[in-house]
Structure 1
């Protein structure tokens, strides 16, 4: 019994003295178990969830081709002769058998981080008939409308994500240049006037996702302001609202409605246009 007790005490003392050495050797053998690299752990944790508010770092490009079926309503005066067109989308389609009544648009956007530019060009060729049955008088509006804007993304969406859960808000400012010809035609009447307008504009637009494949969008801007230093509208506004169908990462289909209001008087003072162009549009958009 004494021998056993003495032996046990010696064994315990040996284990106690050897434990630090054994622990140190075991720690050197498997350092990744006993002392994890905390910097690596924190780095992985920071990157586990991607940021949801920072915009994409690279260039984002898009090119779209809307076709706008616009009617005209308001008041038109060409060289002292008045005309009040009132034409909705149905009337526009009725005229397609004799005249292609529409506006063709090319729209380009480029953005990086929170800043971007918009370049927009539209050729418009509209004809509206008189509401009076005893006359064949009609009005024409044709020409080019170009737009150059800069925008700043106030609230960015998740980079590379579309549809449900996304929200984006942009503030924009630029200039809209309109080189238009307005005319009145009749069997005994052939009047026309040309005007070129340089309208500064300010506005905003937003977009938010309704589902994974569908987003709602809205844009509005005002301009003109009757600047006397150059030819501009007394007042103008543009409103667009619609939906984007996200059919692929590189392709969207847009449908919506647009209103474009002009109120201007020619330099001669004998011609004026105070009317609104409005109607639905269909757009094909390619993303790069």
Structure 2
């Protein structure tokens, strides 16, 4: 299992017009998280291996903001509620390549499938008389071909490091994902390890609303990652 303390930057366009732009640090999102399970499973034999990476997060928030409806008139309080759900699943295989030389580093070439599904709902209403000014809901999903590489090695018998980079293309307009981490192994024969690092990911997903309007969603997530690793 792992925990990604990610800050979010979300931009949503409908028919090419910006309708939602949100940027929030993780510290501002903590009390808005409804659920956030994350896990990475991996198995290998010889030079070949496979892995599954599962990430899900659900956020919701409601605020009231002043909006100037007409020049010269007092601003009107508008209630805005927004919900964001993201499911991200990577299923991939990797082939371990001999780096050569005296280094103890290993290079894994990665290929697989990335699936993601994102639901964004934003509703703006006037408190009195309760009139809805805007109601946008989009649920784009995509299945991409995933390609990447991972370089890892040991500082000492207990300390290790990892660099991971990948990108995907297909149904989406493209995604990229990068991770740099270090870890400390402990327990009998290094059965467990505690890893920490920094991860950056960007998703660009086209979609369509229920009314047929086209949507373009651009989401960037970045922040520290902490993971507890079981080896067997």
Q: TM-score, normalised by structure 1?
A: 0.64
Q: Alignment RMSD, CA only? A: 2.6
Task: Give the deviation of 1:269 after TM superposition.
Answer: 4.9
**Counterpart of 2:21?**
84
Residue 90 of structure 1: SS of its match in structure 2? helix
Instruction: Give 1 or 2: higher helix fraction.
Output: 1
Q: Give structure 2 stretches of 5+ with no counterpart.
A: 68-77, 126-131
Deviations 1:152-195 (A, max 9, x none): 001379xxxxxxx7311100010111122112144444432112
Once the two structures are superposed, the pairs formed by residues 83-122 of structure 1 within 5 Å of their partners are 83-93=20-30, 96=31, 99-100=32-33, 103-122=36-55
Instruction: Give 1 or 2: higher strand fraction.
Output: 2
CA distance in 2, matches of 1:133, 1:208: 54
Q: Give structure 1 stretches of 5+ with no counterpart.
A: 1-64, 158-164
CA distance in 1, matches of 2:227, 2:14: 33
CA distance in 2, matches of 1:240, 1:74: 20
Once the two structures are superposed, the pairs formed by residues 139-158 of structure 1 within 5 Å of their partners are 139-155=82-98
Pair 1:274-2:218 in alignment: yes
Q: Using a 3 Å threshold, how does the CA distance of structure 1 residues 120 and 140 change in structure 2: closer, same or farther?
A: same
Q: TM-score, normalised by structure 2?
A: 0.78
Report the more deviating stretch, 104-113 or 264-273.
264-273
Aligned length: 206
Once the two structures are superposed, the pairs formed by residues 1-288 of structure 1 within 5 Å of their partners are 65-77=1-13, 82-93=19-30, 96=31, 99-100=32-33, 103-127=36-60, 137=80, 139-155=82-98, 166-187=104-125, 188=132, 189-224=134-169, 227=170, 232-248=171-187, 249-267=190-208, 268-288=212-232
CA distance in 2, matches of 1:257, 1:126: 21
Residue 166 of structure 1: SS of its match in structure 2? coil
Q: Using a 3 Å threshold, how does the CA distance of structure 1 residues 127 and 156 change in structure 2: closer, same or farther?
A: farther
Q: Using a 3 Å threshold, how does the CA distance of structure 1 residues 183 and 110 change in structure 2: closer, same or farther?
A: same
Select the structure of larger CA radius of gyration.
1
